[in-house]
Structures are given as structure tokens and as C-alpha cells.
Structure 1
Amino acid sequence: MNELWESLLHLRADVTLTIGLVLAIAATIHILLHKREVASAVGWIGLVWFAPILGAISYLMFGVNRVRRRARQLRPQDSDSATRSPAPAPDAEADLDALKRGNGRIAGRKLLPGTQVQAYQNGDQAYPAMLQAIVEAKVSIGLSSYIFQDDRWGGRFIAALADAQARGVTVRVLIDGVGGGWLRSPAYHRLRESGITADRFMHSTLPWRMPFINLRSHKKVLLLDGTTGFTGGMNIADDNVMAARTRQPVQDLHFRIDGPVVTQLAETFAEDWAFVTDETLEGDTWLPPIPARDGPLARVIDSGPDEDLEKIEFAVLQAVACARASIAVMTPYFLPDQRLITALALAAMRGVTVELLVPQKSNHSLVDWATKANIGPLLTDGVRIWQSPPPFHHSKLMVVDHEWCLIGSCNWDIRSFRLNFELCMEVYDPDLASRLSELMQHARGPELTQADLDARPFPKALRDAGARLMLPYL
């Protein structure tokens, strides 16, 4: 009798365990596919696996939105498409004064006139122009890069910087402590061996002496004599040169900046250098006066975890809110949080043409998977999403109302918006906006549609939803 009772108890335990496992798996699948808020999804998944039966019942009772489902059942079949139809476009001639004021408060800097911007595609165009500017520098050179490889083109930069220092130019080079190589940084060591003053941003080979390994300097800045600057998304590596035919080529855009706004570029480089080395860069060597002149307005917006707010993210949200006619975005990684997704969707709802360009395949598969799980609401609300075909496009651009442009180092993901030290520049220039829009049009490949997402096999849709849970860390 005792043996029979023990067998029944074991059977009951096995059945309970099996039921709990099935419920936990079923609830997890439903959460991954239907919960938009990452924090909420992670919390519910944790509960259903900590207490499978109770957690699954709790999710069924309190976590599933039956009101929305019931509303869809009651809604006439043609009403959904009617509510999603584009609204009449607002007056596209409305100026961007509100954006100028708002971003002034966010950035804490003035808009400066007289800005000239020259765009370069890939290292094929950018590197020769940058090297020539280094050759022509007479007083000072400041260079900051996330990645600096000691390869063919990286060696050319090192040689050019060494030659500049030999002729009396003051040279300072800042390389990120992880992006430039954590354990080994050949370019950094070659710079030092060449007698160039160089340092690494928040670096230590000992992990316990590097508590901020997740906070990186993603900025790309080259300054010549404090009067000419280069910035954008391009690192220094052979991969950026299409003619080099490397195994993993990276397309990108970089920009030469002339005008009074270069002083703001120089100030940000000086701040970063002082942060790392405690050396102050000042005076006419680094911050010479630049005569005022007429021309397009521009302002530097830098951001980092040491700031009191996410300046670049807030500036982007401000631009989306102020848009009256169009928003065009190109980014290598698109993983913003829900508030920026909502802002773009609301812009599309009010009649703004919203277009997004992302790579067909980036250099991080996990990011690609998470992106597909993150963009559904945008497609539903009228945002058009285009894919740039290989080679991988690393450019970061935003154009609003055919006038406002944002260029720089910041990706559209939480890492860039909140963890990295980033630098962007806003420019109010219809001519530049036209050039950037043309570049984005040229980079377009196939359009990504809701039908494409719906056609994914169930295992891939589940994989993508799981990858999205890592959104805050990708």
C-alpha cells in the first residue's frame, strides 16, 4: 500500500512538473510575441519560470490584454484601414524655430552661422582628404577615434601624424580603450613609439581597474589648427576603403566642417582630452578665434553618461516632434526604446512622411534579429522602412523638413543614446539636406513590409522576439 502511495505521489509530481513546464513555455512564447515593453516582458517571463503554474495563471488573468482583442472583434472590418490612412500633410513651409530653441536648451550651445559641410563617401574619398589636411596643418592636430587600426590606411595616418609632429605641429590622439583594442592596441603603441602624445579613453588591462568597460567614447573627430574639422561615423581602418576589398567592407559617410562651429568641435575634443589625461588644451593653439560669417547655422550636440540628460536622444525626439513635412533616417542599428518608436509613429499619423533606412544585413546578427521584432508598430502606423544592400552601411543621418540635418557618430540604439560618449552636429541647410537625401535614396534597396515580417517562420519570429529582450544592452 505504501509503495502504491509513493508511486502516485511521484506520478503527481511528474505530472505537475510537466504541466508547469508546458505552461511556462506557452506563456513565454505569448509574452515574447505580444508584449512591447521590454521591462514588462522580462518581468512576466521571470515570474512564469519562477512559479510556472501560478505565474502562467497570473499572466493569463492579468497580463493578457483581452480588451484590445475584444475591441478588434467588434470593430467593422474596414474601420482599421480607415484609421490608418495618412492624415493631410501639415504646412511644410513652417519654420524650425521651435526646434532651434529646444535644441539650444538641450545642447547648452549657440547656433553659429557660416558653416560649410563637405560630404565624403567611404574611406576612398574621406581618407585622402583627411591626410591632406594633416599635411597642411601648421599649429595643432587633434584626433579622436573609436577604432584605429594599424593596417595599411591606419599606418598612413600614423606616418602623417608623425611627420606633422616632426615639423613642429602639436599632436594629440585619443583612441577608445575598447574599440581601439583592449588587450592589444597596435595603432596606439605605434603612435607612442613614433613620439606622438596619445592616450586611450577609460582603459586598463585589469578589469577591476576598469569599472566602466560598458561606457565607450564612440566619437570620431579630426581637428586641424582649431579651424577645420572632420566628423561623422567613420573609424580609421582598411575596411572603410572599398578599393581595399577587405573581407568585411564597411560603407560610411564622413564630413569636413569649416566655419565658427569648428570651435565647438575643438571644445569637445579638449574636454575629452582633459577627462582622460588632465592636460588642458587651450589658447590659440587649440581654440583660435574664427571670424564670423554668413551661411548655414550649425551646432555641436555631444552626449554621454556623465551628462544630466541624454542630449542627442532628446534632440532627436525634439526634431521628430517639430517635423511638419518629412523625416528621413539612416542608421546602421535601429534599436531605440519605445518612446522614440512612439514619436515616429505619431509623426506618421499626423501626416509626416517618415522613412527609415537600415542595412539588409549588419555586422551584428543579434541586432538584426532584434530590429525585426522592434519595428512592427512603425510599419502598422505608416512608416516606410528601406534596406540598404551589402556592403554593410555604417552611416548615421537624419533629415527633417528638407532643411534640418543631423550628422555624427550616434546610432539609433540605447547604447549610443545613453551609454556611449557621442558627438553629433545639427545643421540647418537645405542644400546639405538635399545632398544627404540623395545619398539615402541612392543607398536604398528593397522595402521591408509587414508582409515580410509576417512571412517569417515561427522559430525565427520567436528568435527575433527573444533577441529584442536584450535591447538595453545591444
Structure 2
Amino acid sequence: MFIELYKAISPVWHWLLLALDVCMVGFAVSHVLLRQRDGRIAAFWAVIIAFVPLLGAIFYAMFGINRIQRRGQKYRAMTEVERQAVLEACPLHPEKEVPELKLLGELAETIGKLSRYNFSVGNHMIPLRSEEAMLAMLTSIRHARRSISLCSYIFEAKGIGLDFVNELEKAKNRGVEVRVLVDNMGTMYSWPPIIHTLRRRGIRAESFMHSHFFFRVFSMNMRNHRKVMVVDGVTGFTGGMNIREGNMLSQNPKHPVIDLHFQVEGSAVRQLQRVFAEDWAFCCGEVLKGDLWYPELEPAGEVGIIGVPDGPDEDFELMPKVIFAAIGAAKKEIRVMTPYFLPEAPILWALNSAALRGVDVTIITPKNNNIPFVRWAARTLYPQMLERGVHILEADGHFDHSKFMTVDGIWSLVGSTNWDPRSLRLNFEFNVACFDDILARQLNAIFVKALEDCQPVSLQEIRSAGLHLRLRDGFARLFMPVL
């Protein structure tokens, strides 16, 4: 009887599934054609949707649609009074005269027009490596007297992360106003969830784009990848370092990570506070106001800085434009250190063009990548760069998560952005463009030191790789738009 019933129902289910597939494919392809701005990404998703029945359309709904723009539009569509309150709470007044920047020429002018933040002069920046940065941040929290704002993509609730929790709780108990923001996807990297741990200690904490576990997959392309901490509105920290035990190299962690972070002093700290305040208001509606968060700041050095926020909202694709402008302005040398090197076509062409006109272009990226799939895809890009004179080196040893770029020994770009499509297009990022020869020399010294543990990549090596390796790399490249 059951067999006969199955035979009777089976054709009906086949037709229903076919109709459902046609509808989903039609809707998904229409969305790709109407909404995807990048032709390569549109082609990638169109193939996936068309040739993977049902699942292709589901994958696109999960990973291909940028829902954050709707929420961003809602945020920007707040009443004028509410929106103005967020902006007025932390004004970024343009400098009346910045004679130092006039000497830097067109690049400074270009970045100044691209970013919605303003140039700030009279700043001091200190590069800090891994454990050194962690301890400096903890020390700053211990000395906090008024306020602490902390934003991180990953914030572990164990090891050094638990030390941060303990110090934040002590600060809260002595009357310091504490606000912590952690990306919702980033909370999946450790257990227990850091947000729960912080809230149990009485610390105000929010997750960016909060959703329940199952629905987190729908916000994978809307990550807040920014790393910012400001103490008392005076001392700031930013860069690419997460709060993880792997950074504590002296503790011999299971997964050691070399990283780079920066301590900032001077008027540019207000820009760090501003980017945190924008995200905080977006998440919970609270507007941070007053001298508690935005005190008057005195000059602290000679570094010219401009903040460069980037994200799939009003700052969409700002970082690729800034990088492209910097490469185009280079006269002598370009040095890039990044954990993930998958530049989009315009940046790739700009690097090749710079090398062809005689600029010394050198790139360091890890050989032992924590995401091997990214390295495999990247290796398919190497031949066209090596042919044009770009130098590519792969670093042995511990995974190096550092990310920075220097141009001509005077301009530096540091922050949270990786050189991959996800970071350049899909994530919320924060970087600072810095004009100072001393800072550039410090970063170049780190770069030169890293060269000691690097192996240059050659055309012969790439072309002589076994067929199975070339097929592996070619397959990985198919997924480059979403890596």
C-alpha cells in the first residue's frame, strides 16, 4: 500500500520541486542582475544559481545578498534631530590650515576628498607587536578614570581575553563608563560567548548585527571587522589585532599569531571615538555625548592622520579607492604586508602598472596561512604580477596577521582591512592613513625584519607545480569573490 501511495505522490512532488526551483532561480537571478554591481561577482552567483538546483539559490540568499544596506538606509533615515545628535556629539571640525599636508601633494588631497573624516595633525603613533600591544591595552584600561570604548571582531572569553574582562569589570566598579561592541559572527570563534560573560559582570556590551545561532549565516557578509579602543577619550588603539590568546607568544599558544596594533595620541583619537560611537548608536540607539567621551585633545606629535571608515553602507568601496590612489601616487617604492592577498582587478592592475614604471613593489603574505583556500586562490594571481616585476614573498614560521602598506617612505596605511574581496567590499572596516616619515621608517623596519623569514615566489615555481596543485588552485580561484 505504501509503495503504491509513493508511486502516486512521487510525480506530484517532482513537479512541485521543479516549480519551486524555477521560481527560486528566477527570483535569485533577477536579484543578481538588478542588485549586484560587480560583473564578476554577478557572473559567479549566476552560474552557482543556475547549475546547483535549489541549493544555489539558497546559498545566494544566505551569502550573496547584502542586507546591511537596508538597515543602513533605515539608520540614515532617522529623524533629522536624532541623526544630528549623533553627528553633533562628536564633531570632526576640519583643520583651518594644514601647511604640513600641502607638502604631501595630490595623495593627501585625494584621500581628504574620499574620506568623510578630516585630516588631523599633531598626532603620535606607536607600532606595537602582538603581546606588546595586548599588555599596553590592559595597562591603559587599568589607568582609565572616565570612559572606555572597545570594539573588536574577535574577543575571546578565556586567557588574555579573560584578563581584559577582569580589568573592564574593575574599571566599571571604580566608576568608569564602559562600552564594548563585538561582532556577532566573531563571537562564534570562542566559547563561552563573550557578550554573555561581559553582561554577567555588569559591563554594557552589544553584538553587532545580533541574531540567533542559525540565522548568523545570513549576516556573514556584514561583519564589523573594526578593532578600536579609546580610553578616557585621550588614548586610542587601532589596527588589525583581535583579542585572542594566540597573540601571547610567550605563553606558547596552540595557534600562535604575529600581529600589529597601534597606540594613538592626539586629535586623531576623536576619529577613533567617532567610528565607535557611530557603530554603538547603530546597534543600541545610545548616543555617546559630552566631555566624558570627547575631551579637548592637545597635540602629541607630528603625524598627519585621516580616518578611513569602510563598509557596505555610505562608505561602500572606499578602501579600494584609497589603495588605488596610493599606488598611483608612488614614485619609488610600495611595500605591502597582508595575511590574505586577493586584490581585485583594479588594484592588481595598479600594482602591475607601478612595477612597470619602475616602482619597487614588494608584497609579503604568509606561506602557512590559517585559511589555506585563500593562499591557493592567491597563487593563481602571482604569474601576471611576477611577469611585470612585482616581488612576492611568502613568510614561513608563525602565521603573520599584520596588515599595513607604505609608499615612498612617507605614507602609511594601517588598520583592519585585508587585501581580499570580503574585507574590501563586504566588511565594516576602519583604517588610518598616516603621513610621517618616522612612522613609515618604523613600519619599513618591521617589513625588512620579516623578509628574513621569507621565501621569494618565482614564475618557475608556479609554472612547474604539479597538475593536481594547479587544479586545486584554479578551483579555489572560482570562489575568490566571496573569500
For the aligned pair, the TM-score class normalised by the smaller chain equals 0.7 to 0.9
Separation in 2, partners of 1:48, 1:181: 32
Instruction: Tell me which residue corresponds to 1:11.
Output: none
Unaligned runs of 5+ in 1: 1-36, 51-93
1:439 corresponds to 2:446? yes
Match of 2:219 among 189, 212, 216: 212
Deviation digits for residues 111-159 of structure 1 (CA, Å, limit 9, x no counterpart): 111111111111x211111111001111100000111111111111000
- Tell me: CA distance 1:45–1:205, structure 2 relative to 1, closer, same or farther (3 Å): closer
Separation in 1, partners of 2:262, 2:234: 14
- Please give the residue correspondences for 1:272-291 in structure 2 after superposition, counting only pairs within 5 Å: 272-291=279-298
Question: Which residue identity lines up with residue 110 of structure 2 in the other structure?
Answer: G
Instruction: Tell me which residue corresponds to 1:310.
Output: 317
Separation in 2, partners of 1:244, 1:213: 32
Deviation at 1:38, TM superposition (A): 5.5
Match of 1:156 among 157, 163, 176: 163
1:227–1:259: 8 Å Cα contact kept in structure 2? yes
Deviation digits for residues 16-75 of structure 1 (CA, Å, limit 9, x no counterpart): xxxxxxxxxxxxxxxxxxxxx95699599889999xxxxxxxxxxxxxxxxxxxxxxxxx
- Tell me: CA distance 1:173–1:120, structure 2 relative to 1, closer, same or farther (3 Å): same
Instruction: Tell me which residue corresponds to 1:453.
Output: 462
Deviation digits for residues 450-469 of structure 1 (CA, Å, limit 9, x no counterpart): 11111210111111011111
- Tell me: CA distance 1:268–1:40, structure 2 relative to 1, closer, same or farther (3 Å): closer
1:248 corresponds to 2:255? yes
1:251–1:392: 8 Å Cα contact kept in structure 2? yes
Instruction: Tell me which residue corresponds to 1:468.
Output: 477
Match of 1:106 among 114, 117, 124: 114
- Please give the residue correspondences for 1:405-444 in structure 2 after superposition, counting only pairs within 5 Å: 405-444=412-451
Instruction: Tell me which residue corresponds to 2:379.
Output: 372
Deviation digits for residues 209-252 of structure 1 (CA, Å, limit 9, x no counterpart): 87433210011111101111001111111111111212211110
- When the two chains are superposed, the root-mean-square deviation of aligned CA atoms in Å is 2.3
Count of aligned pairs between the two proteins: 394
Question: Which residue identity lines up with residue 128 of structure 2 in the other structure?
Answer: Y
Instruction: Tell me which residue corresponds to 2:409.
Output: 402
2:233–2:295: 8 Å Cα contact kept in structure 1? yes
1:389–1:443: 8 Å Cα contact kept in structure 2? no
Separation in 1, partners of 2:176, 2:194: 20
Deviates more, 1:269-278 or 1:197-206: 197-206
**SS of the residue 1:324 aligns to:** coil
Separation in 2, partners of 1:319, 1:185: 42
1:352 corresponds to 2:363? no
**SS of the residue 1:283 aligns to:** coil
Separation in 2, partners of 1:102, 1:388: 33
- Tell me: CA distance 1:116–1:228, structure 2 relative to 1, closer, same or farther (3 Å): same
- Tell me: CA distance 1:245–1:98, structure 2 relative to 1, closer, same or farther (3 Å): same
1:301 corresponds to 2:314? no
Separation in 2, partners of 1:358, 1:327: 14
Question: Which residue identity lines up with residue 461 of structure 1 in the other structure?
Answer: R
Question: Which residue identity lines up with residue 356 of structure 2 in the other structure?
Answer: M
Separation in 1, partners of 2:323, 2:298: 30
Deviates more, 1:111-120 or 1:168-177: 111-120
Separation in 2, partners of 1:341, 1:241: 34
2:156–2:190: 8 Å Cα contact kept in structure 1? no
Instruction: Tell me which residue corresponds to 2:236.
Output: 229
Deviation at 1:289, TM superposition (A): 1.8
Separation in 2, partners of 1:163, 1:43: 49
Deviation at 1:287, TM superposition (A): 1.3
Separation in 2, partners of 1:311, 1:387: 28
- Tell me: CA distance 1:95–1:451, structure 2 relative to 1, closer, same or farther (3 Å): farther
Separation in 1, partners of 2:445, 2:405: 12
1:41–1:469: 8 Å Cα contact kept in structure 2? no
- Please give the residue correspondences for 1:317-396 in structure 2 after superposition, counting only pairs within 5 Å: 317-396=324-403
Instruction: Tell me which residue corresponds to 2:148.
Output: 141
1:182–1:205: 8 Å Cα contact kept in structure 2? no
1:328–1:355: 8 Å Cα contact kept in structure 2? yes
Question: Which residue identity lines up with residue 268 of structure 1 in the other structure?
Answer: V
Question: Which residue identity lines up with residue 116 of structure 1 in the other structure?
Answer: H
- Tell me: CA distance 1:466–1:95, structure 2 relative to 1, closer, same or farther (3 Å): farther
TM-score by length of 1: 0.79
Separation in 2, partners of 1:183, 1:327: 36
Separation in 2, partners of 1:138, 1:422: 28
Question: Which residue identity lines up with residue 464 of structure 1 in the other structure?
Answer: D
Deviation at 1:291, TM superposition (A): 2.8
Match of 1:200 among 164, 187, 207: 207
Deviation digits for residues 437-462 of structure 1 (CA, Å, limit 9, x no counterpart): 11011112111111111121011111
Deviation at 1:366, TM superposition (A): 0.5
Question: Which residue identity lines up with residue 159 of structure 2 in the other structure?
Answer: R
Deviation digits for residues 422-448 of structure 1 (CA, Å, limit 9, x no counterpart): 000111011111110110111121111
**SS of the residue 2:226 aligns to:** coil
Unaligned runs of 5+ in 2: 1-38, 53-101
Instruction: Tell me which residue corresponds to 1:63.
Output: none
Instruction: Tell me which residue corresponds to 2:90.
Output: none
2:266–2:301: 8 Å Cα contact kept in structure 1? no
Question: Which residue identity lines up with residue 452 of structure 1 in the other structure?
Answer: E
- Tell me: CA distance 1:385–1:202, structure 2 relative to 1, closer, same or farther (3 Å): same
**SS of the residue 2:188 aligns to:** coil
Question: Which residue identity lines up with residue 111 of structure 2 in the other structure?
Answer: N
1:410–1:422: 8 Å Cα contact kept in structure 2? yes
Deviation digits for residues 51-100 of structure 1 (CA, Å, limit 9, x no counterpart): xxxxxxxxxxxxxxxxxxxxxxxxxxxxxxxxxxxxxxxxxxx9631111
1:310–1:417: 8 Å Cα contact kept in structure 2? yes
